[in-house]
Amino acid sequence: MKSQGRGSKYSLFESAEPIAQELPREGDRERVFSDYVVYVDESGDHSLASIDPSYPLFVLALCVFHKRHYSEQVIPAVEKLKFNYFGHDSVILHETDIRKQRGDFVFLSHRPKREEFMSWLTNVVERSKFILVACVVDKARLSRQDGDVGNPYHVALDICLQRLLDLLSEKSQQQLQTHVIVECRGKKEDRELELEFRRICDGEGSQRRPLPFQIVFADKKTNLAGLQLADLVARPVGVNYLRPWQPNQAFEVLKNKFYCGGGRRMAGRGYENVGLVIYPPHKAKSPGEPTEA
């Protein structure tokens, strides 16, 4: 393996050995698990009691990976980035720590190093082939609705899981079990989330259909690449909703990853209300009527 000069960085998907070919499946009728795995993270909190005016949102993001691509390309790419910048792979890529340049990421206060690291990280995200499903809950607008508005996390979860089934149906995977990995938040919160997840999957969600999903709780210390990528994408989606006029390089990368109508030929265009859902939905306005805040 040739050095790439000072700093000696490895190319992103370089492999010292040939990757083993996937063997043909036998007895597909007996298959239990789908070809996909889903990693989930959120941005913002789900409380309606106290709403932060600077970020009055709750964003839920689902990153859907084909297992082979995830295991053979995504994980090695994330590992190489960590070895390159930290010398080991126990570091957790956490969006808040990166943005605030704290903990393991204090070195990002040096602008040239920060630009280099962010370029590398953006490249990893861009070249990781996952399909993004996200819901932005505008808590300020939700709190003004009449009646019982419920828990923003539960609202977003229902919306995202229904879209996830649509996506997997397109892949002919709807009869197989797909695992949805979420990060542990606390015993009480995890118990409430599991109950709501199972309620939705039992056919009591908004579309009254059973969903073939299994929730898995993972501690942050398990250091799963998929959870870290989900963590990195959630906030840029929220920031783009709040300030759509503001340059947002991260969101520009993510636009092409959203689940969209019309197939992949519509990538980057046909994702509104499909792979990216805003809740509550904006009401259609008559000509001359001011836009809803």
pLDDT tens for 163-192 read 999 999 999 999 999 999 999 999 999 999
Q: How confident is the model at residue 72 (pLDDT cuts 50, 70, 90)?
A: very high
* pLDDT of 265 higher than 90: no
Q: Where are the alpha helices (DSSP H) in the chain?
A: 67-69, 75-86, 95-100, 111-127, 139-142, 152-170, 187-199, 225-242, 249-255
| Residues with Cβ within 8 Å of residue 39, at least 6 apart in sequence | 62, 63, 65, 181, 224, 226, 227, 229, 230
pLDDT, tens digit (0-9, with 9 covering 90-100), for 19-50: 444 554 555 558 899 999 999 999 999 888 88
Q: What is the pLDDT of residue 285?
A: 47
User: N- to C-terminal Cα distance for the chain?
Assistant: 56
The pLDDT of residue 268 is: 65
Quickly state the pLDDT bin for 15 (edges 50, 70, 90).
very low
Answer whether residue 149 shows pLDDT above 90.
no
Mean pLDDT of 225-236: 97
pLDDT of residue 257: 95
Strand-pair partners of 218: 183
pLDDT of residue 16: 46
Mean pLDDT in the chain?
A: 87
Q: Calculate the alpha carbon distances from 10 to 85, 256, 282 in Å.
A: 12, 26, 47
* Per-residue model confidence (pLDDT) at position 143: 65
Per-residue pLDDT at 27: 52
Mean pLDDT of 64-73: 98
What is the rounded distance in angstroms from the CA atom of residue 136 to the CA atom of residue 258? 13
How is 209-273 classified by DSSP, letter by letter?
----EEEEEE-GGG--HHHHHHHHHHHHHHHHHH-TTS--HHHHHHHTTB--TT-GGGTTTTTBT
Q: Cα-Cα-Cα-Cα dihedral of 157, 159, 160, 161, to 10°? A: 80
Can you tell me whether residue 95 is helix, strand or coil? helix
- pLDDT digits over 86-136, tens only? 999 999 999 999 999 999 999 999 999 999 999 999 999 999 999 999 999
Superfamily for the 30-279 domain? Ribonuclease H-like superfamily/Ribonuclease H (3.30.420.10)
Q: What is the pTM of this model?
A: 0.86
